[in-house]
Structure 1
């Protein structure tokens, strides 16, 4: 039975952009598993698999349905122990949990301040209405007023990756000599920024950018196949 990954895209279904889904694209490649990716619009997510989840990624792996990127990674690790490990043990799982916390509390808010309107602009009209309604309810103000200083957010963004640069002084990946799921967590965030805005907004001589380029090259350039 085909393994299916439901992901997220805007009006152009060839450009999936969810950071959490990109984690799983690379996790599936890491495990060398064949799968079919089905990008969805925001308003379609609740219609697939009997309304299994309101968010993506959703993975159908045979008769198993799993949502939440970290839970999917854990499922892949347990279901395919003979394939390359995403964690290399309990320590790797704990490390990935820490990296996930760092990404979602430091990197994601910084990206949102840059990309909010870019995301809105790549959506189809029905999804633009959904996105505006839900985000304006969350922030309590018009979408255009949520992050008024985009240029300032871009200028401040490189500093959010200083912890990554510090680590890169001693090893090429967060996982060491080779990447682990922890790498795919941060990669997913930067890929989200790149696909939605066209850039990761880092200087050309930045070690964090070098790391991102190495991640783009993984698995026959899987990350480069989206314009």
Structure 2
């Protein structure tokens, strides 16, 4: 069976940037599965697989179509139990639910504003128009105003990463000696920033930087298949 991953891209279809899609890329690599990648711009997301979801990633595996990165990871562990586990059991699923909520509120929400104009610049004009209208309606202000207010918020990131930093003093991955889907959740957000913007979020001597570099090297260096923004 052919596996197809629908993932978000901008003008350059070789630079997929969605944090949620990167979770799935890492999950597929973790499982050692081969797949085809289908580039989807913002305005085409509603047309993917007859509108199965409002967002990507979407995964088609033969007759099975699954949306949402977490649901895709659960599906992969169920469909391919003979391959390396993404969760290590129900405890790992519960851990990953917490990591997803923590990273969304403490990491993604902290850096989102700083990336808006960089993301906008990566898109085709029709997608730029959609992105600006939808984000400005959600945020209640212009992209420029949000980005202008973001530097102070980004400075908060170092402290917000303290729980991860302290844990990484004891083990190389969130999953322990080896990565699990919980690692890929956090990785996806930092990879999103790495691909979209040259902004420096982490210091070179940070425990989190060392962990992120280890994640970039995983699975044949799939995380490095897209260069960092210049």
TM-score range, shorter chain: over 0.9
**Residues 98-126 of structure 1 deviation map (CA, whole Å, 9 limit, x = unaligned):** 10010111111112022111111111111
| Superposed displacement of residue 151, structure 1 | 2.8
Match in the other structure for 1:121: 121
Match in the other structure for 1:71: 71
Indicate conservation of the 8 Å contact 2:111/2:150, yes or no: no
**SS across alignment from 1:223:** helix
The answer as to 2:202 corresponding to 1:202 is: yes
**SS across alignment from 2:83:** coil
TM-score (normalised: structure 2): 0.95
The size of the alignment, in residue pairs, is 227
- 1: CA distance between counterparts of 2:75 and 2:151? 40
Off by >4 Å, runs of 4+ in structure 1: none
Match in the other structure for 1:80: 80
- 1: CA distance between counterparts of 2:139 and 2:113? 12
TM-score (normalised: structure 1): 0.96
Indicate conservation of the 8 Å contact 1:190/1:200, yes or no: no
Match in the other structure for 1:92: 92
**Residues 13-33 of structure 1 deviation map (CA, whole Å, 9 limit, x = unaligned):** 111010111001000011111
**SS across alignment from 1:39:** strand
| Superposed displacement of residue 157, structure 1 | 2.3
Indicate conservation of the 8 Å contact 2:3/2:59, yes or no: yes
Indicate conservation of the 8 Å contact 1:193/1:200, yes or no: no
Bigger drift between 194-203 and 4-13 goes to: 194-203
The answer as to 2:39 corresponding to 1:42 is: no
| Superposed displacement of residue 47, structure 1 | 1.6
Match in the other structure for 1:111: 111
- 2: CA distance between counterparts of 1:38 and 1:152? 37
Match in the other structure for 2:15: 15
| Superposed displacement of residue 155, structure 1 | 2.7
| Superposed displacement of residue 12, structure 1 | 0.8
- 1: CA distance between counterparts of 2:217 and 2:38? 22
**Residues 173-196 of structure 1 deviation map (CA, whole Å, 9 limit, x = unaligned):** 000000000000000010001000
- 2: CA distance between counterparts of 1:76 and 1:43? 27
| Superposed displacement of residue 149, structure 1 | 2.5
- 2: CA distance between counterparts of 1:198 and 1:63? 40
What aligned pairs does 1:17-36 form with structure 2 within 5 A after superposition? 17-36=17-36
Indicate conservation of the 8 Å contact 1:31/1:85, yes or no: yes
Q: Which runs of 5+ in 2 are unaligned?
A: none
Distance 1:98 1:76, change over 3 A: same
Match in the other structure for 2:223: 223
Indicate conservation of the 8 Å contact 2:14/2:226, yes or no: yes
| Superposed displacement of residue 200, structure 1 | 4.8
Indicate conservation of the 8 Å contact 1:107/1:189, yes or no: yes
Root mean square deviation of aligned Cα: 1.2
